[in-house]
Structure 1
Amino acid sequence: MPASDNDTIEEINIKLQRPTAGEVRKFATGEAVFLAPLPVPTGDTPMDLDGSFIEINESFLDIGSSNFNKAFQTQAMIGLVMAFIITCVVIGPLIIGLTAFGDPYGRSFTDNFLEFFFPGLEFAMWGALGFSAMGIYVILSSTFNKTRSRPIRFHRQRREVCFFPNGSDDPVIQPWEELVAWLSVSTESTGESIISTYTFGMAFDDPKSDKVHFVNQGVATPLHGLGKWEAIRVYMEKGPEFCPGQAPYEGRHTFDKERQDMHEEYQHNERSALGVGWWYLTHLITWWRFPYWVAEWDHRFSMKSLPESIAEWSNPLPSEQWVKPSSALNEQSAKIERAFAQGQDFMTYFKANLSKTEAKESADSSAL
């Protein structure tokens, strides 16, 4: 989850006035619903779809960047290059060649094919170089950016959170129940449709520098953002056995497992012969095991380690020293859990629904 350099509207509002869980604040392009302070249950399924749980034990949880989806990122880059080459060298010349049928000048399929093939080959080479350079930059920069930032550490026994701003060795220690977290939606119109962008964010107060540090992460849907926060919350409130496990690292063993699963699906009639052929074709085009080798390479570059100054803070505490939840949190959690039992969800309980906001704005735009 990268730190944000530019303040968004909801971040500026946080600086001016601290929110409460369930509060909704509107801004120019959308709205934000706050999940904390006072981190009450959301009722959603805890999930870690982006592989950000990089260390988890009885004392603390580290949220950061693993090599999860690195193989897919590499496959996407290679697939883009290969699709461009195939279009220029094979599909394009074939289409031009087929125009030979009924050609008034009597040119053959071969004549038309070769007339386009060599210019297409040259164009493919230059285009492939450009796309490859772009892909290599994305792959390398995402890996090296990971090594320059530190994970966020949630200590459940202390009920505190440790955050290190980029470039700093001074920790920002935030009480868990005072941490600000939110889920926001921002919409913009393309003239023909409405595009919605969802963001899960957290804010860390730094009293030493009188600053607020923001961490933002784009999520696909509100459910993904709520599930991510619920995974963190349930770890802090209930323990590691109630939340997703540590993110597994990807490598060539991942490829072998995927191929084995594909064969088992075929044997149990869960995948067709056409599906098997497509699996082999797509992996051949994206260079077979190479993307998984890149993922193994990325795995060797971990996030920047936490300094020794935080080692003592990270140690487990005797059970009698564990910090207890506040009475305010217990009371509010009990109320919302009773509402869940009656069929409500987090959004309806707090009268906030980002999906409905998106639908309303889309309808208003259509009416215009």
Structure 2
Amino acid sequence: MSTPPAGTTKKRLFSRNDYFAPLPIPTGRKPSDVLNIIWRKNEVFLDISNYSIGSAVMVMWPMVMVFLAISYFTRNLNSDISQNILIFGSIIMAPGVFFLILGLFRETPLPVRFNRQRREVCVPRADGEYWIVPWESVTAAATQHSSVSQAGRTTMGLLIIGFENPDPQAKDDNNHFSLGVNCGGGTTAMALWECMRSYMEIGPDAAPEAAALNAGGSLRYYIDYMSDKAKTRGWILTLLWEGVLGVFIFNAPLAQYLQRKKLNPPPDLTYPAIIEWSKPLPPEQWAKRSPELEAAIAKREAELTAQTQPTDNT
């Protein structure tokens, strides 16, 4: 599969594609795990996943509240309309609720594991299969699409991380796997990609810590969380956003409960060969960057340095 070089951007009227890899050069953005995709991090490997049942709750719950609110406020105007709104809302929400409930009873998908000492990536597949993919062959791109309507401009986007099956004899339907993160594209996608790139190319300290997947389990957690937010937002905005909107509009307590139920602890890779593959190596056995990547990173870092230096107009 042909992929444009890292650093390439393709723009159209209502879309934009930014390519970050292969040859994972710096994007210029600070790594930020805004969607809690990091499940584990240590000196050897980083586990990444796009699985988030809590996000599904926080997307669907506002829609439920909208239908209930419209039905409630129209009940005295026309009871038939109020009832029809409830029926219509139930029809719209039923598939999403069904798949959400179904997801609660399914096994949590395994994470993708990035091994920085071997410079390889373990990609779990179906039926106990897994791929070991060279880090420098991984592709990454952010795609962003916009639409314009009477309500204004709406933008959606993904971070797409691609892996090629290293088996040359693999069937056509088992040649490629993509991990998509619904982040809106753009700079957010860059920040998420930098979590992986910085970990692999700089070190564990350069990447954010793993998400607190056991968070939200007590009242003490919410108090500490809101106190921390109040330091930057103030208590009025914190109570409005985290309290009123977070609880009643997005139902954050339910989202965090389900997330904790499914991901505490997060699933691990238990293949015997991968357990061995995930063990630390002596530093002298660590894999090195390719000369091509070394040159590409040096060139990109020089470009970023030039961009940050003030222009001399004298």
> Which amino acid in the other structure matches residue 84 of structure 1?
F
Consecutive unaligned residues of structure 2, counting only runs of 5 or more, are: 310-314
Q: Among 103, 116, 132, which residue is 1:156 paired with?
A: 116
Amino acid at match of 2:41: I
Deviation at 1:256, TM superposition (A): 4.4
Report the counterpart of residue 327 of structure 1 in structure 2: 291
TM-score by length of 1: 0.67
- CA 1:196 to 1:306, structure 2 compared with 1: closer, same or farther past 3 Å? farther
Q: For each residue in 1:226-257, what CA deviation from the matched residue of structure 2 results, as whole angstroms up to 9, or x when unmatched? A: 11111101100121111111011255436643
Following TM superposition, by how much is the alpha carbon of 1:202 offset from its aligned partner in structure 2, in angstroms? 2.2
Residue aligning to 1:247: 211
Question: Does the residue aligned with 1:333 lie in a helix, a strand or coil?
Answer: helix
C-alpha distance in 2 between matches for 1:177 and 1:202: 12
Q: CA deviation at 1:172?
A: 1.7
Give the fraction of aligned pairs with identical amino acids, expressed as a percent. 24
Q: Which residue, out of 189, 195, 210, partners 1:225? A: 189
Query: Does the Cα contact within 8 Å between 1:255 and 1:292 map onto a contact in 2?
Result: no
Larger Rg computed on CA atoms:
1
Q: Deviations over 1:289-308 (max 9, x none)?
A: 54443333333584474422
Superposition pairs of residues 1-368 of structure 1, within 5 angstroms = 15=1, 17=2, 19-24=4-9, 30=15, 32-65=17-50, 67=52, 70=54, 73-89=56-72, 91-93=73-75, 96=77, 116=78, 119=80, 122-123=83-84, 126=87, 129-130=90-91, 133-143=94-104, 147=108, 149-165=109-125, 167-186=126-145, 196-208=155-167, 209=170, 211-249=175-213, 251-253=215-217, 256-262=220-226, 270-272=234-236, 279-280=243-244, 283=247, 289-300=253-264, 302-303=266-267, 305-343=269-307
SS in 1 for 2:307: coil
Q: 1:21-48, CA deviations, whole angstroms, 9 ceiling, x for partnerless residues? A: 2245689985533212221111101011
SS at match of 1:161: strand
SS of the residue corresponding to residue 183 of structure 1 reads strand
- Structure 1 residue 218, shift from structure 2 partner: 3.0
TM-score, normalization by structure 2: 0.77
Residues 294-340 of structure 1 show CA distances to partners (whole Å, capped at 9, x for unaligned) of 33333358447442232211111111101122222222212221221
Deviation at residue 124 of structure 1 after TM alignment = 6.3
Could you list the per-position Cα deviations for residues 271-304 of structure 1 after superposition, in whole angstroms to 9, with x for gaps in the alignment? 3399559935873577795444333333358447
Q: In the comparison of the two structures, how many residue pairs are matched?
A: 304
- Residues 32/331 of structure 1: CA separation in 2 closer, same or farther (3 Å cut): same
